[in-house]
Structure 1
Amino acid sequence: MQKVEVQLGERSYTISISDNFQGLAAELANCRQVVIISNPTVAPLYLQSVQQLFVGCTTQHFLLPDGEAYKTLSSFEQVMEFLLQQRMSRDVLLVALGGGVIGDLTGFVAACYQRGVPFLQIPTTLLSQVDSSVGGKTAVNHPLGKNMIGAFKQPAQVLINTAVLSTLPAREFAAGMAEVIKYALIADAEFFSWLEQKQQLIQQQHAATLAEMIRYCCQMKADIVSRDETEQGERALLNLGHTFGHAIEAYLGYGEWLHGEAVAVGMVMAAELALSRGDLQAAELARINALLLAFSLPVKPPAGMHIRDFMPYMKTDKKVKNGSMRFVLPTAFGATAVVDNVTETELFRVFADGNN
C-alpha cells in the first residue's frame, strides 16, 4: 500500500494505491447509501468486487454507455433522474468506477445533487489513475468545447488498484502514458529520463514499476493542486498539450481519438512552437517524439486537420483570458510556463497547412 495526501484543509483526502481491492477496503470511511456509477465494459469485470468493499451498506449501481461521446448533459440528467427516483438523500456516497469519463461525470453529479454529496474515485484506466481522478475537476462536454460545463468538486478518497490495468486495452494504456509523459515535460527532466530507461518494464506492466510511476504522478499533481486548487496560476501547467488536444477531440467528434492520443499530439505541437521560439532544442523535440512513438502514440494531427481548423476551438478554450489565447509551452526541457503572447500569425507560420 502506498499513499499520497492531497492537502486542502477540510477538503483534504488520501490517494491509496494497492494491487488489489481487498487492500483498499480498509481505507474506506463511514458506510452509508452507496450508488456505484460505471459502464458495461468495466462493470462485468469489477462491479462485484467493489460492491464487496461496502459490506453493510445499501448498494445500488447505475450504468452509462462507454465512451467519451456519452460525457454529456444528457448522461448527467440520466444519473440525476436515477438518484431522484431512488429517493437518495444527502447521505448518499457516489462511487465512480471507471475511467475519466465516468469519474468526471460522477464528480459533476456529486457537485450538483442536492447542492453537493460526497463521492469516491475508483479509477480503472491508467489515464484516470495518474491524472483525472485527482484534483477535483469535474465536467461534461459540449459540441462547442470539451469540459466547458462543470465544477470543482474534490473526491472524498481515491482508491487505485493497479491490477486492473492488466485488462486495459493496449490503446487505452498508451493513452494514459501520454499524461504520464506530460508530467515529466512540465517540471522534471529526470523523470523523463527515467521513463526512457524504464519503457520496456512499463510496456510489460511490471507491477513495482507501474506503482512507482503512478505514485510519482499522483504526488506531483497532489502538490500542485494543494497550492492552486482552482487553477488560478500554477495548476494551468497541467494543461500542457490540452489546448491543441481538446481542439482535435472537438473537431473529430468526441470519441474518435482517445483523450491521451489528442494530448500527445498537443504536446508535440506545443514543443514545436517552443522550438520555433528558441526555448527547446531540436534534439529535445526528437526525444519527445521518440518516447511518444515508443508507446504507440500519434505525434501528428489527424489527416486533413490544419491549423485553421484548430482556431475556433482554441479561441473558446478555458485558458482564454481577456480575449487572448494562452498556451502552456515548454520554456526548457522539463520546464513550462503559461504564455499569452502567441499570435495567430505565429501559429500559421509554425503550423503552415501541409507542414504540420
Structure 2
Amino acid sequence: MSPLHSSVRSRWAGPVAVALLVALGTAGCSAGAGAPAVSSVAPASAETPSPSPTPSAAPLSCADLVPKAEIVRALAAGQPADDWVVLPVSTVDGSITGQKALEGAGGLGCSWRAGPPNSETGIATLTVSILPGAANQWTGALYGDAPTEQRRTFAGISAAATCGDPGCGATAAVGSSWVRVDLLTGSREGGTSAFAKETDDQVFAGLKPAVETVFRTVQDASAAQLRFPDHVPADSAAPCTNYLTKVDLEGALKVQRTRVSTDFPPDPKVDSLFGAAELRLGDSVCVVEDARYSSATELASVTVGPEQAWAVDEIATDSAQRGDLRPIRLEGLASGERALSNCGSGSTPCTVLFTLGSTAIQIENTPRAVQVAEAILATAR
C-alpha cells in the first residue's frame, strides 16, 4: 500500500467507524435519564419562497357550457346525427334589447346550430343565457305575457319549462344566477320544423342533457367564473320621456294628437331574464299612442339605452354580414353618430336604431320610424 493510501486510511477510518457505531446504537432509541445531553445544531436552511397566488379562474366561455354531443342531441329532433357538426352562431338580433342587453348587463349569451357535414345547418337553434346576480329577480317567464306554472326538474333543480312560440325552453335560479336555455324550433304547427312531429315531452327528452349540463356548470362555477365584462352605466340615466318632451310626434306620425305612456322600467315578470338585464342597464321604454282613442292604440315604441352606443356599433358590424339592417343617414346626426334601419317605402312597421352621443335609441312598430328618429334629433340639437 502506498504511503498516500496509508495516510488517508489512518486519518478517516477511525472517526467514520465510531460515527457509524453511534448511529447504529442510537437508531430508534430515546435518551435515558442518565444519558448525557446531546447538543445538535440544525443546518441553516434556505428561506422557503412564498407560494405564488393562485390566479383567478377565467370567466366561463360558451365552449365551457355544453359539449358537442349534447348540442347535437338537442337539435337533431330524433334523427340519426352521429356525424353532425356544430356551428356557433351570433346571438346579436338587431336590437339593443334581448341578447344585446344581456351582454351589456354582464351576462353571457351563447347560441349553436347543427347539421350533417357539407350541408347547411338546420333552422333550429340552441341558446343559453346567463345573468349573474339576478336569481332574486327570477320568474318563470318564457313565452307569452305571463310566467308559466309548468315545472320540470333538471340536475335536481326545479325549473319553469314549457313550449310556445318560437320553441321550448327552461329557466331557473341557479346559485346566484338567472339561467335560461331555449331550443328555438321554428313553427312546429306548420310542418316545416324538424320538430313538427315531436311532442313537448319528446323535445324535452332531447333537450334535457344540455339543460342539466348548463345548470351544473353554473352551479359549480366560482364567482370569478361568472364575472363577465359589462357596460352598466355608473350613474342613473334619464328616462325615455325626457327624450320625447317637446318632440313633434304629431308631425312625425301624421296624427292630430298623441300621448306617451311609459313602460319602464322593464318588468322581468313579463320580459323574463332579458327584462332583468335591461333593468340593470337603466333602459326605459315609451309607447306613443293615438290620443283620439281612449283605449291604447300604439303608434310607435321608443326604447332608450343609456351609454349603449357601443351596442349599435356592434349591431352594425353584425348586420353587415346578415344584411337585415343597413346604415342610413338621419337629419341631425352628429359626427361619430350612426343610424341603422330596415325601413322601406311602404306601410310596413319597421325599426330604426341610432346613437345620440353615448345613448342608443330604438324606434319600432311604426312605418314612420325614420321620421320619429329625426324629430327626436331635431329637438335634441
The TM-score normalised by the length of structure 1 is 0.27
The structure carrying a bigger strand percent of its residues is 2
The structure carrying a bigger helix percent of its residues is 1
The TM-score normalised by the length of structure 2 is 0.26
